[in-house]
Structure formats: C-alpha cells, structure tokens
Structure 1
Amino acid sequence: MHEDDSVRGGSTRRETIAYGGAIVGGGLLAGCLGADDPSSEPTDGTDGDSDEDGSYTAEISPVGEVTFESPPETVFTRLTHHADMAFALGRGDGINAMHAPEYYDGLWNQFVERLPGVSLDWSGLYSSWEVDKEKLYELDSDIHLADPAWVTQLSSWSRADVEEIADNVGPWFGNSLSDRHQEPPEEWADDYEYYGLWEQFELVAEAFREQERYEALAAVRGELLSTIESGLPPESERPTAVMITSADRELIWTYTLNNPGFLTAHTRPLGPRDAFDGAIESESAADFETLLEADPDVLLYLGGMLPDVDMAETRAWLESDPVASEITAVRNDRVYAQGARYQGPILNLFQLEMTAKQLFPEAFGEWPTYDDGPYPEIPEDERLFDRQRVADAINGDV
C-alpha cells in the first residue's frame, strides 16, 4: 500500500497492484490495477482502453475494473473529496447526493468565489451519510462515487447489498479509507490499496473520460508544489503546529499535520514540526493544558472558513482563557482559519496556498487577517497558483 504526494507537475505514476476478489456485477470485472508507463504521453478524453462499441474500463481499489458504456453524468457521492473531484471534472451539476450538503455547500462556496466564471450549488441534495438502499434505486445514478468498503461498515449494508446496487443501478467507484490509512474491513483487506489524493483523482478522471481536465489541474498543482518546495526553510527553522477544532468549546479535538492519508494533503507537503512531537495521535481530544504543554507556534482552526464562523470571535475566545492565552500561537496572533480535511483537488489547491502563507509568511507572503467571508482576495502577484487556469479546467476550456 502506498501513497504519493511528490511534486510531479503531470500524471501520477502508479505501481502495478494485483487484486483478489474484486466486485463482480453491474459491469464490474475482476482484474488488476494497471501501471502507468512513465514514458507514455498524457491521455486525453478520447484515448484509453475502449472497445469498438464505445465502452471503456477504469480501475480503482477496492472495486477493481469497471466497464462503462458511456461517461457518467449523474453522480452519487458520500464524502466531499469525491464530490470535489466530480466538480473539478465538470460534473458539479450532476451530483445528486453527498454528506451534509448544506454545510459543505456553504464551505466550498467560500473558495469557489475566487474562481472566475465558476459556480457550485450543492444545497438541497440528498444527505447520504446513512445511505438508504431504496434511495439509491430512486436516484438511479450512473456512478456511485463512493467507497463500497466504507459503506459496508454501516450496520444496514452488506457486500451483497453493494453488489446488488452495482448490478441494478450503477457501479461503485471510490476510495475513502485512504483518508488516514484506515484498516479496511476484513472481507475487503485483500483488495484494498491506499492512494494519495491526486492519484485517486487521476483514476476518477479516467472513469469520467476527463483526462484533459485532470492533466490541466495536475499541472497547476505540480507548479504549486514546486514553488512550495523551493521556498521551504530547513526543517529546523519551521514552526511547530497543530490543527484544532471545537464544536461547543467544551471539547477540543486536535489533529497532527504530517500523518499519512489525504486528510493531510495540504499540510504534509509543507513539513511543519509536530507540536506534540509524537506524544499524541491525530484526532485526539485535548484540553488547553495539553495544548499549552505542546505550546505550538501556529494553531490551525479547522472549520474556520465556514460562513457562520467568526475567526475574530474565535481568537477572542482563546485570548480570554487564562490557559489558552499563554499558548505561543495565541500570544503571537498566529491562529488561522482552515477549511476541510475531506478535500478534493480544488480545495486542495486553495488550502496548500493558504497554509503555506500561514506557516511561512516570509517565504510565501502574509496570509491576510481573516475574520469571516469568502477566501481572501490575494493580490495577483502574491498568489501561488493561477485561478483562471483552474476555472478554465473546471469549465472544460482545456
């Protein structure tokens, strides 16, 4: 199992992985994940494995090989890394379900505001965290951009249920346990592979026959990572950092920034030092005394970009607490907003830029004082990636 967050400017390169026991049904064929030939040219939306009748195949773990008669148009999703992928590939209007649609519609639009000519509307979609099988029949989606291994962790779902939906509605095509390299259920363990965020995005692009959009966005990301890599200070000079959030200000959750998985796809490339120095695992409950003992130079506040969150009030809350006010990040006014961990490629670009500025203002420019509202309007000469190129890719102008 592997994951790749290296600087690559174009297509990611996957190793050959043999699968056992892929789903069979609904055009899902047992198979193995083919390797990309490092010497091959990037594909466009018309090349690839295609039969004379126009059908084609794509592969992803843990599903295996999937046969499509035509590119999917209607898209079921559960988690936002998949919804963002569909949006990035020009299928935003085809999404019919996602987890907490009103919440994430508000959050994603904070970022989409800065993409000229691009819009997003996820409000009113079916909320799919607790998936109802009959609802999937009703939605009649061309593709279920979700991880069947994750779905079978729900008490109401079995592997036979996901095979039924693949047979009678549409195939599954997604991977979610790569989020933090979670252990898959035993019945999926032989088939499971972990992917980096952009590795999985490439596979999803193949399923939609949207390789050109993928290549355009991957090029933007590669240049962004190259900029970051060239500007990073030596590790000994980097700040200590931790991410926190609190729904009720009674219980604080902490997240480290360098652990494996696509949840840290925007922080791991920046290499901040773990304020806990390995003493606390990510996704742990903590109190202000624990945070003060770690004493991070930077606090990243998860969810701080939500429309109903006021970062000025959040900072005031920390400054008013006799313990929290002694934390170096609080004393030095280095408490910054973050968006979401279940990011897809579009949010990843913005979060790489914002976090680079938050951690290393001397190298990448100051992050503006942010209280609320959309992603700040960064002066053009201080941006780390080109918004118009991203917008063009989403809109199919590639």
Structure 2
Amino acid sequence: MSDAHDTGPVVNAIAPAPPIGFALVGWFVQNQRPLPWRRHYDPYAVWISEVMLQQTQMSKVLPYYERWMARFPTVQAVAKASLEELLRAWEGLGYYGRVRQLQKAAQEIVTLYGGNIPWEEEALRRLPGIGPYTAAAVASLAFGRDVPVLDGNAQRVSARLLDWPKPVKDAESQRILRQVLEEWMPSGRAREFNQAVMELGSLICKPKKPRCTQCPVRAWCRAYAADTVAHRPVAPRRPLMQAITVAVGVLCDNGKVFIQKRPPQGLMAGLWEFPGGKAHEGETPEETLHRELAEELGVTVTITGKITEIRHAITRYRLHLHAFRCVLNPPDQPLELRSAVQGLWVPLEGLDQYAFPSANRRLIRMLQTRQGTTP
C-alpha cells in the first residue's frame, strides 16, 4: 500500500487508473442494490430519482419515488399536472424549488423534444433546474454516455483515493476530482462506473466509520495508506445554524381553519401555511402572533389556547414554532391578504389536499389526531 501513496503528485497519478475503474465496476455488478430506477434505466425514471436524491437520503427518497412514479408515470404527466398536485406529492422532501424547475423542464421536453428526454449532456444542461451533476447522471446512467458524475459520494470517494488535501467544493478540487473520475472510468461502462462510485460512498466509504476493510479499491487508496481517511474529504466550514422563533395561528371559524398560500418566489414558495411569522427581539410568542396577524391579514384576534410547540430544522435555520388556536375579535372582520397570494377557509379533513411545509404538516397531523375533524 505504501507504493500507492508514494507515486508522486496527485494529478500525475491518474494514468494507471483503469484497474481502479474495473475493480469498481466489478464490485458494483456483484453488490448493487435493487433500486427501482435500475430496473430499466428509463431516462424519466433516472431523472426523477436524481432530482429527489439531491440533498436527501436514499431511505427517505424511495417511498416518495414510488408514489411519484405511480401518480406521474411520464414526462407528459408532470408537464400537464397542476403545481399544487406536484407540490403535494413532493411535500416532506423539502427544497421545493426543485418541483417548479422539474415541471418547467418537463414542459420544455414536451415542447422541444416531443416528450423524449435528450441524451446529450449539453442539451440536458439547458433545461430548467438541470445542472452539471444531474445532466451527467442522466446522460451516463440512462444513455451510457462516458461522462463522470461528481455528487457528494463521488467527491468523498475520489478525495480519499487521492488523499486530496484541499476543500472538495473549491473550483480546483472539482476540476481535479472530475478529471480523475473520467480517467478511471472504463470506456463504455459509465453507467456501472458512476453508480459504483456513488454506491461505494453510500455503503462502504461513508462519511463516518467507513468500512475500509470491505473496500474493493483499498489497495489504491492513498488516504488509507496515509491513515488520513477520517480527515478526507476536506470540507468547507459550515455556516452557523440560526435559531428562529415563529408563532402561527390556527384561526377557527364555523368548523373551518384559515390557510394562506405563500408567494411563488422565495423560501417555501407556493406552499400553504397557517398565518403567522417570526418573533421580534423581546416579543413573547403571543405578542408575535397578534402583530403578525395584524400585519398579514389586517385583523385582531383572541387567542383561545396554545396547541403545541414544534422544533424543526430547515436549511440553515433551527425553527421553534409556537402554535395557538385563535378566533377573530370582533368576529366579522374581513381578511386582507397583504403578504400571501391566496387564502381559504378549510375543514381540518380538507387540509390533506394542500401542500404545506413540514412543520405545518406536523401541526395538522396533531390537530387531526387530537380533535378528529373539529377545529
């Protein structure tokens, strides 16, 4: 193993790489998981799986994928569906901008390509929401194009094999890692090779407690030889999580609750929510709710009780949500939509038809469980 670590500069060590590529392909053929999109490598199925897997764990994606494919089995189905339907099917996966871009891309595929997903990487990258990673994944997995896929797993595997000492997100690192993957890839085996690298990162070369003794390419791993596996890849410093306190109101009237739809741009765009918002410094949650409902809807309310508190993490934020039951006071005030684009009064059992952020959905489940269908 010491020879593998002492072969000179990293970028000059990629010439003899084919043994790594063939070892990875052979391992994958014998050990691949029976994932649903691997049955036929249909381009649409591969595309949906790759979009869902961005920043989401495989175990969470699988049930969403199966439900999505049953409801939207073709590109045309996505193109024709309402955004509300798509968001509801996606609810819980997060990063909802992916859904809007997915539909825009589907509509372009129908208009420009007759519903057939293009096989060229550059054509794929011109579609909305498809960046270098997704384009390479679809081109190689669905169409067998010899292009490397550099996802998080591939970054970790290649950085460890090279004992790469720089942050993997840097432009230079991205270029070098993509270059070595391309060198290691056996010609005509891009589908197996790219999945082998990603599968290895998911099952063996894990971020923590990697199973190095089970690795099929350990003999070529410089980080293993140098005992630096725990320090590779070098990651950029993570931004600090920001704590946010939020108060929302379950505004009740005649057996229904009020929900409003967020604007089509910004965080959680197009999703439905209970009215409310972020607390100002020094405010109690109750004061926050009164202020927010006055600002958002132009109404005054009486808080009739606290329902629950929910803690939830989203992107860079740690959310502490306080939920209150409330009623209009006086009761006949008109609601003015000052920040939302639509508002509805809906019975509890009807809330399942609308797409909500995860914290709001948890609140809905709690309300339905505790009180049946009576607000």
Between the two structures, name the one with larger relative contact order (CA 8 Å, sep ≥ 6): 1
TM-score (norm 1): 0.21
Q: Which has the larger radius of gyration?
A: 2
TM-score (norm 2): 0.22
